[in-house]
Structure 1
Amino acid sequence: MRIARLDRVRPRILTCLGGLALLTTAPLWGQAHAAAPPPNVILILADDLGYGDLGCFGQKLIKTPNIDRLAAEGMRFTQAYAGATVCAPSRCSLMTGKHNGHAPIRGNREIKPEGQVPMPADTITVAHLMKYAGYTTGLIGKWGLGHPGSVSTPDKMGFDEFFGYNCQRLAHEYYPEYLWRNNNKVMLNGKSYSHDLMAQEALEFIRRNQAKPFFLDLSFTLPHAKLQVPDLGPYADEPWPDNLKTLAAMITRMDGDVGRLMTLLKELKLDEKTLVIFASDNGAAYSDSLFNHSGALRGHKRDMYEGGIASPVIARWPEKIKPGVVSDQVWAFWDFLPTMAELTGRRLPANLDGVSILPALLEGKAVKHPPLYWEFHERGFDQAARIGDWKAVRHGLTGPIELYNLKDDREEAHDVAVQNPDQAKSFETFFKSARVDSELWPIQTANPKKAAGKANAKTKAGAL
C-alpha cells in the first residue's frame, strides 16, 4: 500500500461545531486491513530522554529492560525526530501535524502565574481526530500548550480526560502542591511523587476503557528537570555522583511503569489490539560523560544537531508490526497525526507538513519524506533542515550554512558546505520558504547569547 502524497490529499470539511471543523471518514488503510478494526493507541512520551539513554539504543549503565523489550517485540527507529529541540514546540508539532515553521507554538513561553502560550481556539489536534474516529481520548502527564482557563486546555483540544500538569514550569517539581484532573485541582500538598500517581492513573484509564477504542497520550515528566526520586533502586551502591544515581533511578522507574502497563494490556487481552509508541520529546538535557546520553550523536537539548532533535522511537503492535525490526525510515513528530488519520480512516486537516508512515510501520515499506524543518528561538534564531541524507544547520538569520551528509556522517563531525556549494545554496533557499512569520515568535537578530539571556529573563524559557 502506498500513502498518497500530502499535496495530493484534498481534505473535505463538512461541518463546523464551535469553530472546529469535523473531518470526513475515508478508507485510507487499504484493502488488506479493511476488515480489521483500528487498534487502541498508546503514545508514551518521555521528557528530555536522550537518544542514547535506553539499552536498545546503546546505553550500557542505565537499566531499561521493559522498553528494550518493546524494541525486541516491535520496531526501533534510528532516524526518527522530535518536533523541536525543546518541550512546548515539540508537543505542538505532535498535536498539530505542523513543523516549527508553521506551527502556532514555536518556543517555550510562560504565562504567569501558571501555564504557557495557548494554541489558537480553532486548532485541530490529533486528539480531535481520534475522538471523531470513535476513540475515548486521554492525556496523562504534561500539557504545556496553554494555561488554565485559556482556549487551549486539554479538554478544549480533544481530550476527554486529563490528569497531570498544565504548566511545564510547575512540572519541574515531582512533589507538587497539586495536579489537575480536567479543570479541577487535585491537592497533594507536596506529599506525593507525581510520576507514580500518573503511572497509576494510566493503568486505571486503560481498565475503565478496555471495552472500547481508546487513545492515551501518556506524557511522563521523567527524567526532566529537577532530580527527585523516592529511592535509588538498583543504583544505591553505585560509585557514581548522587545526581547521576538519581537520574538513572528516574529513568529506570519510568521503565518499570512501562512494564506494568504492558503487563496490564496482556491481562486484559488488549495486547494484540493496541499499538504502543514510545518516544522522547527532545534531546537529552544532560551531558555528563558517564552515561553518554546522546550516544554517538552531536549535541543535546537546545541544539539543532542530531543529539538535540533525534528521538529514540519504538513502535509495537503484535501480529501487525514485525518484531525485532530496526528501521531507518526518516520521520518526525508532525507525521504522527497523518499516520493516525490513515490508521483510523480519517481524512487530513488542511495545510499539514506531515505524511503518514503507516506503510513503514505495517509493511516495512519506505515512505519518501518531504524536507524536514526546525527552528529555535531561545538563542537568537537557529534553523535546521534535512532533505534526503543532507542536513543543514544555520545559527542566526544570516549565518553561514553548515552542511552534513548524514549517510556518511551522522555524528555531524564534518561540515562539507565548502565542498558542496550548490547543496548549501539550495538549503539557504529552502530556509526562506519553509516558514511563515509569526507575531508571537519574531526572528531574533541580536547576538545569540544576549538574546538568550534576555529571553530567559523575561520568560524563564531556559528552565523549560
Structure 2
Amino acid sequence: MKNAYKLLYSAAILYPGAMIAQTSTADKLPNVIYIMADDLGIGDLGCYGQRQIKTPNIDGIARNGMKFMQHYAGSTVSAPSRCALLTGKHMGHASIRGNAKVAGSDGLLYETPLPAGEVTVADVFKTKHYATGCIGKWGLGGPGTEGMPDKHGFDYFYGYLGQRFAHSYYPEFLHENDRKIMLNGKSYSHDLMLEKALGFIDQNARKPFFLYFSPTIPHADLDIKEEVMAEYEGTFCETPFGGSKDGYKSQQSPRAAYAAMVTYLDKSVELVIKELKDKGIYDNTIIVFTSDNGVHAEGGHDPYYFDSNGPFRGQKRDLYEGGIRTPFVIQWPGVIPQGVVTNHISAFWDFLPTISDLIQADVPQNTDGISYLPTLTGKGTQKEHDCIYYEFFEFGGKQSLMTPDGWKLVRLEVSDPSKTYEELYNLYTDPAETSNVIKQYPEIAGKLKSMIATQRIENTRFHF
C-alpha cells in the first residue's frame, strides 16, 4: 500500500490560485460542518490508500470535492491542535501548546483553559449570525474556567470537556453546556454525541450554522459495540492486548476493534450527509473531514499493520510527518469541483482566515493562517506559507520547521541544550524522512534554524 500511496502522492495535481473550477457560488451563506476524528492516521482512509478498512463515505467527500495531500494538524497532540484550529495560531504563538491540566470548579482535572481574549472561528461565525455548536471532545478548559465553549462563541456544547475522560467510550458523565450529565458508564458516548449532532442540524436547518463535530473515535480505548465489531471479527491475525498501566482496557481483537471503530465513524459521516439531504440543505453545506494529529499506538493498536501513517515516518507525539500530516477532504457542491487533488500546503491555523474570507468577516489580528479559499474555488490568487512551524514539550522537547521547497529541520532534546541535536530532510525527495542530510547541507540547516526564532514567542506555561 505504501507504493500505491507514493504513486498517488507523486501524481497529485497542484492547483494554485489559477486552477479551473466551476464558477457557480452559493446564493446564501453556506452551512459548515467540520468533522475532526481523534488520532486517525492519514493512511486509515481509502481515499489515501487504505485497503483493509472500509471508509466509503469519507472517501465520497474526497470524490465529490477536494483532497489535500499536504495538510498539517495544529499540533501532534490533541489540546494544542484544537487551539490552533479555533484561533488560527500555530504553536509558536498559540496560547495552548500542550496537554497540561488545570482543575475545574468540580475539582477534576481538565486541559489548560483557552484564555478569554482569544477570538475563535465560532466568534467569527457569530458576527454573521450563524448558529454554532461544538459536539464531541473539547479539551480547552473545564467547568468554571474561561475556557468553556460558551465563552468562545459556541451556542451549544455536548460531549467531553476534558480529554482524560474521553479515554472511555462508556464514561461516567458527559457535559451539555455547563451541566454534567450522569451516564454511570452505561451508554456508548459516540452514539450520544452523534444523536446530538444530527439534532443540531435538524434544529438549525433553516438558518446558517457551523457545527464543529469532534468525535473521539478511533482514540484508545479500542472499544466498540459487539454488533459493530462483527464486521471485522476474525478477519485479521490478532495479538490480544491485556490492558495497560495508563488505564487502557484489554482488547482481545485490537485490529478488528480499530478497523470497526474507523468504519463506524465513516457510517456516522453517512448519517450526517443523510440528515443534510433529508433537510434539503446538502447542496448549501460545506463538509470537512480531518484528524487532530497523527495515528496513535495506544490501547493495543499497531499502526504499522494498517499503514495508518501512510508512507510517513512517526506517529502521534512526533514532529515527523506521520505525527502532524493529516487527512483533509472537503466538499461544497457546485463550488468546489469534484475529484480534485491538491498539493497546496495548508494547516489547521488556515481554517479561521478561510472562513473569514468565505463569509466576508474581518480576520482577527495576530493570526498565522492563510485563506485557502482560492484553492477551493479557483478564484483569486492563492498565497503560500513561508514555513510550517511546530514546537512540542514532551519527550525532551521538540521543534520543526518546513519550507515550501521541501526542506525540513527537526530539533530534538530542545529542553536541554547540552543534548539538543538536529536532523534535516527534504520531503520532496524523501517524504518518509529516512535520510538525515544535515551534514551534506549545513547551510540550509542553519537557515532553517535561524527562521525558528522568528516564528515563536515565549509562553509562560509552555516553555523549554
Q: Deviations over 1:120-150 (max 9, x none)?
A: 1111111111111211000000000011110
Give matches, 1:63-462, under 5 Å. Answer: 63-112=54-103, 113-231=108-226, 232-241=229-238, 242-286=253-297, 287-363=302-378, 366-388=382-404, 389-397=406-414, 398=417, 399-443=420-464
Q: CA deviation at 1:408?
A: 1.5
Aligned counterparts of 2:425 and 2:278: Cα–Cα separation in 1? 47
Give matches, 1:6-85, under 5 Å. Answer: 36-85=27-76
**Alignment RMSD, CA only?**
1.7
Q: CA deviation at 1:429?
A: 0.3
Q: CA deviation at 1:35?
A: 7.6
Aligned counterparts of 1:422 and 1:366: Cα–Cα separation in 2? 29
Partners of 2:26 and 2:284 within 8 A in 1: no
Q: Deviations over 1:2-26 (max 9, x none)?
A: 99xxxxxxxxxxxxxxxxxxxxxxx
Aligned counterparts of 2:182 and 2:137: Cα–Cα separation in 1? 17
Aligned counterparts of 2:236 and 2:75: Cα–Cα separation in 1? 35
Instruction: Report SS of the residue matched to 2:117.
Output: coil
Q: CA deviation at 1:37?
A: 2.1
Aligned counterparts of 1:366 and 1:292: Cα–Cα separation in 2? 32
Q: CA deviation at 1:33?
A: 7.5
Q: CA deviation at 1:56?
A: 0.7
Partners of 1:114 and 1:148 within 8 A in 2: no
Partners of 2:65 and 2:337 within 8 A in 1: yes
Aligned counterparts of 1:384 and 1:198: Cα–Cα separation in 2? 35
Q: CA deviation at 1:262?
A: 0.7
Amino acid at match of 2:413: G
Q: TM-score, normalised by structure 1?
A: 0.87
Amino acid at match of 2:209: F
Q: Any unmatched runs of 5+ in structure 2?
A: 1-15, 18-22, 239-252
Partner of 1:460: none
Q: CA deviation at 1:111?
A: 2.2
Question: Percent identity between the aligned chains?
Answer: 47
Q: Deviations over 1:330-367 (max 9, x none)?
A: 00000000000000101111111111000011118653
Instruction: Report SS of the residue matched to 1:150.
Output: coil
Q: TM-score, normalised by structure 2?
A: 0.87
Q: Deviations over 1:345-391 (max 9, x none)?
A: 01111111111000011118653223111100011210011111211
Q: Any unmatched runs of 5+ in structure 1?
A: 4-31, 444-464
Instruction: Report SS of the residue matched to 2:304.
Output: coil
Aligned counterparts of 1:234 and 1:325: Cα–Cα separation in 2? 31
Instruction: Report SS of the residue matched to 1:212.
Output: coil
Q: Deviations over 1:31-64 (max 9, x none)?
A: x778832210000000000010101111111111
Q: CA deviation at 1:434?
A: 1.1
Instruction: Report SS of the residue matched to 2:272.
Output: helix
Aligned counterparts of 1:216 and 1:100: Cα–Cα separation in 2? 24
Q: CA deviation at 1:396?
A: 2.6
Aligned counterparts of 1:167 and 1:223: Cα–Cα separation in 2? 17
Q: CA deviation at 1:401?
A: 2.9
Instruction: Report SS of the residue matched to 1:45.
Output: strand
Partners of 1:329 and 1:367 within 8 A in 2: no
Amino acid at match of 1:161: Y
Count of aligned positions: 415
Q: CA deviation at 1:233?
A: 3.6
Aligned counterparts of 1:310 and 1:413: Cα–Cα separation in 2? 16
Partner of 2:12: none
Q: Name the stretch that deviates more: 79-88 or 382-391.
A: 382-391
Partners of 1:51 and 1:310 within 8 A in 2: yes
Partners of 1:126 and 1:337 within 8 A in 2: yes
Partners of 2:26 and 2:335 within 8 A in 1: no
Aligned counterparts of 1:34 and 1:48: Cα–Cα separation in 2? 34
Change over 3 Å in CA distance of 1:367–1:33 after alignment to 2: farther
Aligned counterparts of 2:233 and 2:26: Cα–Cα separation in 1? 51
